[in-house]
Chain A
Amino acid sequence: MNTELNLAAPDDFYDELIGLHRDLTETQSALVNAKLILLLANHVGDADVLRAAMAAAREDLPQ
Chain B
Amino acid sequence: MSINVFEKRALLLAVASVAVSLALIAYATWGMGINVPTCIPLGSKPFQQASVTRHDGLNYEVHYVARMWAFEPSVLRVPTGSTLDIYAVTKDVTHGFLIAGTNVNLMLVPGAVANGRVHFTKPGIYTIVCHEYCGRNHQNMNARIEVSDQIADYSVEGLPASEGAKLLDAKGCLACHTVDGSTGVGPTFKGAWGAQVQLADGSSRKLDAAFFLEKVRHPTELAVKNYPAVMPEIQLTDDEINEMEAYLEGLQK
- Please determine whether chains A and B interact with each other in the same assembly: no
